[in-house]
A and B are shown apart, each in its own frame.
Chain A
């Protein structure tokens, strides 16, 4: 510590150590805050239609278009270390040819959204007007747990789903499930827990009743032409 340059090096060196220690404590503080999310999912209208995966494709596949209602309370996921929460709804169904006919081995995402914490609002890639509204909605608070409360009524899916075989009509025993990712400022990305881990509980509910995908919807004109 005899000269200025040595003092700069020593102070900076210890600063990095302190940074790492504080960051580790911030990451560990996540495990101390309880996570008790709950959700109810209900299927509304379902359609199965024939379509092409892209404009130039010669192959036609079946696409399921599943509307749903979601009421969820994910507010406990929002703490000081939460940067954003990624929420998604998937449809899953068993494979009839698999040895275990009841296991839901097929899964496809039908809808997702990003919920930012007010501390990460400025990172959202949205227009200026929407950004202003988003920043205003936090009312200057550093965290806003009310953003975890989603109320979707008869929500249109973002993605129409199909299977590798291209056939999804008449599939039985399909369920919708709610999943989430918590992306922290410091620490590891966490997925929906499949069991209770200390203070983190599984999603209460979050699975819809089993339903069946309908047969392919035939257009009215074709029906008329067939007569």
Chain B
């Protein structure tokens, strides 16, 4: 029971996502932060307000963190399909040479 809880807590903290999710997370982080930078500069320049530029920049960064860092279900939509485990064979360690099982 306690082990199970600990395991769940560790998984949540580690937040592992699948390969497609990793690609998506990388893309989102780059694109969102770039857009935030451009928007904050343009708003600040045209409204002549440097505080506004700072707030937009920091706010957008916080949003990006919230969207990219937690292991959202979106990043786990393509789990890796592993091959089925081979049948158990106690006497063999599964060392195969030239198609012959030798150990």
A residues sitting closer than 8 Å to B (CB atoms) are 1-5, 7-8, 10-11, 14-15, 18-19, 21-22, 25-26, 29, 79-81, 119, 142-143, 185
Contact = CB atoms under 8 A, between A and B. Distances in A.
A18 B34 contact: yes
B53 to A, nearest CB: 7
B41 A25 contact: yes
Main secondary structure of the interface of A (DSSP, over half): helix
A14 B41 contact: no
Given A1-B25, A18-B37, A142 B51 contact: yes
B52 to A, nearest CB: 7
Contact of B22 (A1, A142, A143): A1
Contacts of A21: 37
A2 B20 CA distance: 10
Interface of B: 13-17, 21-22, 25-26, 29-30, 33-34, 36-37, 40-41, 44-45, 47-53, 57, 61, 64-65, 68-71
A3 B41 contact: no
Nearest to A83: B50
12 contacts: A2-B22, A7-B29, A11-B64, A11-B69, A15-B64, A18-B37, A79-B48, A81-B50, A142-B48, A142-B49, A142-B51, A143-B49
A1 B68 CA distance: 9
Given A1-B26, A11-B68, A185 B37 contact: no
Contacts of A4: 13-15, 69-71
Contact of A26 (B17, B41, B70): B41
Given A4-B13, A4-B15, A10-B29, A29 B45 contact: yes
Contact of A19 (B47, B57, B64): B57
